[in-house]
Amino acid sequence: MTRKPRDPVQEPDANVARTSQDVAAPRTRTSAIDRAVQILDALQEAGRPTTAYEIARSVGAPLSTVYSIINDLVEKNLLARTPDGAIWLGSRLYGYGLTYASSLDYLAVAHEEMNRLSAQVGETVQVCGLEEGMMVVLQMAEGPGHFRVTSRVGSRVPLNWTASGRLLVGHLPDAERVAYFARHAKSSPTARAETRPDVLARMAREALDARLSIQIGESDASVACLAAPVLDQAGDCVFTISIVMPEAKALQSTEQFGDELKVVAARIETRLGWHRRASESVA
- Same domain flag for 207 and 167: yes
**At 57, which helix (H) or strand (E)?**
helix 52-59
- Same domain flag for 247 and 268: yes
Inter-residue contact 128 to 238 (CB < 8 Å): no
Please give the mean pLDDT across all residues of the chain: 82
Q: What is the mean pLDDT of residues 38-64?
A: 92
- Same domain flag for 167 and 69: no
Q: What is the mean pLDDT of residues 91-101?
A: 81
Q: What is the mean pLDDT of residues 44-54?
A: 91
Residue count of the chain, please give it: 283
Cα(273)–Cα(253) distance, rounded to whole angstroms?
30
- Same domain flag for 40 and 131: no
pLDDT at 150: 58
Cα(229)–Cα(238) distance, rounded to whole angstroms?
8
Q: Domain range holding 253?
A: 104-280
Q: What are the start-end ranges of the H helices in 122-211? A: 163-168, 174-184, 197-210
pLDDT at 282: 41
pLDDT at 271: 84
Cα(89)–Cα(76) distance, rounded to whole angstroms?
11
Residue 2 lies in a domain: no
Residue 21 has pLDDT above 50, yes or no: no
pLDDT at 164: 93
pLDDT at 75: 94
Domain boundary among 71, 93, 115: 93
- Same domain flag for 220 and 263: yes
List the CATH number of the domain containing 152. Answer: 3.30.450.40
Domain boundary among 37, 58, 93: 93
Residue 153 has pLDDT above 60, yes or no: yes
Please indicate, yes or no, whether the overall pTM of this predicted structure exceeds 0.95: no
pLDDT at 24: 41
What is the phi/psi pair of residue 199, to 5°? -70, -45
Strands (E), the chain: 79-81, 87-89, 124-131, 134-141, 156-158, 213-216, 223-231, 237-246
Residue 168 lies in a domain: yes
List the CATH number of the domain containing 86. Answer: 1.10.10.10
**Which residues are within 8 A (CB) of 100 and not within 5 positions of it... i.e. 6 or more apart?**
none
- Same domain flag for 228 and 108: yes
Residue 129 lies in a domain: yes
Residue 88 has pLDDT above 90, yes or no: yes
Cα(20)–Cα(76) distance, rounded to whole angstroms?
37
- Same domain flag for 141 and 177: yes
Residue 16 has pLDDT above 70, yes or no: no
Q: What is the pLDDT of residues 250-283, one digit of tens each?
A: 777 778 889 999 999 999 998 888 865 433 444 3
- Same domain flag for 131 and 182: yes
- Same domain flag for 163 and 134: yes
pLDDT at 18: 40
- Same domain flag for 86 and 161: no
Q: Specify the number of domains making up the chain.
A: 2
Grade residue 7 by pLDDT with cuts at 50, 70 and 90.
Answer: very low
- Same domain flag for 76 and 140: no
Domain boundary among 72, 93, 114: 93
Residue 113 lies in a domain: yes
Q: What is the pLDDT of residues 225-235, one digit of tens each?
A: 899 999 998 89
Residue 145 has pLDDT above 70, yes or no: no
Inter-residue contact 181 to 201 (CB < 8 Å): yes
Q: What is the pLDDT of residues 163-219, one digit of tens each?
A: 999 999 999 999 999 999 999 999 888 788 889 999 999 999 999 999 999 887 666
pLDDT at 246: 81
Q: What is the pLDDT of residues 163-174, one digit of tens each?
A: 999 999 999 999
Grade residue 29 by pLDDT with cuts at 50, 70 and 90.
Answer: low
pLDDT at 276: 55
- Same domain flag for 211 and 117: yes
